[in-house]
Amino acid sequence: MKIANYHELTEEALKVGPGIIGVAWPDEHEVLLAIAEASEMGLARFLLVGDVSKIRAQAEAHQVDLSGMTLIDEPDLSLPRCALCAIAAGEAQLQ
Tell me the backbone φ, ψ of residue 23, rounded to 5 degrees.
-125, 120
- Give 41's pLDDT tier (boundaries 50, 70, 90): very high
What is the reported pTM?
Answer: 0.74
Q: Where are the domains of the chain?
A: 18-88
Provide CATH code, domain 18-88: 3.40.50.10950
Mean per-residue pLDDT over the chain, rounded? 87
* DSSP string for residues in 7-46: HHHHHHHHHH--EEEEEES--SHHHHHHHHHHHHHTSEEE
